[in-house]
Structure 1
Amino acid sequence: MLKTIYLALICLLASATSMACQLTAETAKTRGRHFAEQLQQQQGKELWQQMTPTMQKALGSEAALNEFSRRIRADLGEPLELLSETVEQNQGFWVYQRYMSFSTTAIPVLTQLVFDPLGKVAGLLVKPQAMSMRPADSAHLNYQTKADMRLPFDGEWFVFWGGRDLKQNYHAANRNQRFAYDFVVHRDGKSHQNNGLQLSDYYCWGKPILSPADAVVIHAVDDLPDQAIGSMDRANPAGNHLILDLGNGEYALLAHFQQLSLRVKVGDQVKQGDTLGLCGNSGNTSEPHLHFHLQTGKRFGEGDGLPAQFQQYQADGALIERGEPTRGQIIHNANAP
């Protein structure tokens, strides 16, 4: 978590209201997204140049901005996923706001950039802050998974997001992903080696993803590129993915496969434990991981999310006969060789 919350928000309302507004909502969103990502990547030069003189005076120097950017990365870790973003106008200023998940804090991180009517940065705020949301309503809280499911991988994996409340699992705010999981591989508390700038640095990259149950493949996407670290494909959030019909109205979605790694196609019948493809970084994701959830719909984003209970696995060394993994656990299939 950020050790210091930095706030520099300068609003010169008198001058703003007398100027013609030259910025639109769309350009404010584009600029906000651009500068927020530059800040996360510790590239502050352009952001500094686009700040108002008053804002620059408040910060002190470009070096101070760069140090702030460095501190964000050091305290919060790596950006993982965009949770939400909004743009609204307030007394002549455009306010861009986004929530991101980061690797070393369970609390979403708010980044806010304020633009004056000419598009200059007049305010900046970065701080961990719980989103003003609650878990989505669900009629399935007591649901028991009908399919006999195993974990969809072998070896030890780390539950990055999993659980029923927002602190454990930001997916819980979304009806169709109410009980979703994100899995990575950790070693010595990290998901990657070296500096984490290459996809091959990540321990789960290229690991086989297995069918959790006997099923039929009803939807498959395999041709989307894996995203470089720092880049996300918001137009295709699930990336390369599969939807499996487990029977009894249960559909499993597995997302973010490596490009052209799928071993199955629509219509194939798969057995529990069959290799489906390789863990990748396609879609709206900033590092390799496996996204998994059960749903009532036959396509991504359709229907309600369902609780997904796995059988015969170990969590932090304890045997779980049947359960739902939660954030922070190290898990592996108890019956794996």
Structure 2
Amino acid sequence: MSAAVDLHYPFDGRWLTQNSPADRVPSHGTVLFAASYAIDFVPVDDTGRTAPISLRSLVRSESPDRFPGFGRPVLAPVEGVIVAAHDAEGDHAVHRGLPSVGYALTQRSRATQGWVALAGNHVFIDAGGAVIVLCHLQQDSVCVEVGQKVRPGDMLGRCGNSGNSTEPHLHLQAMDRSDVERARAVPFTLRGSLPPNGVVVDSGKV
């Protein structure tokens, strides 16, 4: 297993950790696409909550712009060179309650369609020893290009709801090469520590 790489938080404000290796490995229930140590970060408001759940949201899909973090800036967590940048995928509706059940049943078909169907809009940063991956970005929000050098805190794009996503969030992972079909997962820490599952994380930059 590759040595862990230490990253800066790729955002400002408050985000809720989900699907974290602090809870289980592989964190997303699969070793495919080098996702064993990936973390999902859900942006929340100042009270630590996402969009309120109503009776309507339990039975119907919702617009992603109802959610507090949709469009929130996503920042480079490491110094490196951009080796992939994609933001052509649309942001789809949010699925909670009953709609999430139907959406879950289509997940296997998305996996068979390949990486982009799962990751949606994404950026890869080659940090020299590890490639850092940020997924589910907002359509047309990516503001970096392949070959561009970035430093921690540089803006990459905005939080969206593209790819395999039930609500706006950021998927963060590290791998040993840019070819996701052949890559192996690389563990990572965030400023020296791994946020425990379900804990609201404050980047300290607010």
TM-score w.r.t. length of structure 1 = 0.50
Which residue does the alignment assign to 1:129? none
1:174 Cα offset (Å): 1.5
**CA distance, structure 2, for counterparts of residue 189 and residue 274 of structure 1:** 25
Return the structure number with greater strand share.
1
User: Is the CA contact 1:161–1:169 (under 8 Å) kept in the aligned structure 2?
Assistant: no
User: Is the CA contact 1:219–1:299 (under 8 Å) kept in the aligned structure 2?
Assistant: no
Which residue does the alignment assign to 2:90? 225
Please list the CA deviations of residues 122-169 of structure 1 after superposition, one character each: whole Å capped at 9, or x if unmatched. xxxxxxxxxxxxxxxxx34xx231xx5210001111101212453x86
User: Is the CA contact 1:262–1:276 (under 8 Å) kept in the aligned structure 2?
Assistant: yes
Higher relative contact order (CA 8 A, sep 6+): 2
Which residue does the alignment assign to 2:131? 251
Give ranges in structure 2 of 5+ residues lacking alignment: 96-102
Moved over 6 A (4+): none
User: Is the CA contact 2:22–2:197 (under 8 Å) kept in the aligned structure 1?
Assistant: no
Give ranges in structure 1 of 5+ residues lacking alignment: 1-138, 312-321
Pair 1:310 & 2:190 matched = yes
Give secondary structure in 2 for the equivalent of 1:256: strand
Which residue does the alignment assign to 2:15? 157
Which residue does the alignment assign to 2:200? 330
Please list the CA deviations of residues 181-213 of structure 1 after superposition, one character each: whole Å capped at 9, or x if unmatched. 000023456421364512111121110000001
**Paired residues, number:** 182
Please give the residue correspondences for 1:1-337 in structure 2 after superposition, counting only pairs within 5 Å. Answer: 139-140=1-2, 143-145=3-5, 149-166=7-24, 170-171=27-28, 173-174=30-31, 176-187=34-45, 188=47, 190-193=49-52, 195=54, 197-230=62-95, 234=110, 235=113, 236-247=117-128, 249-311=129-191, 322-334=192-204, 336-337=205-206
Q: Choose 1 or 2 for highest CA Rg.
A: 1
1:332 Cα offset (Å): 1.8
Percent identity reads 31
**CA distance, structure 1, for counterparts of residue 22 and residue 185 of structure 2:** 12
Which residue does the alignment assign to 1:133? none
TM-score w.r.t. length of structure 2 = 0.80
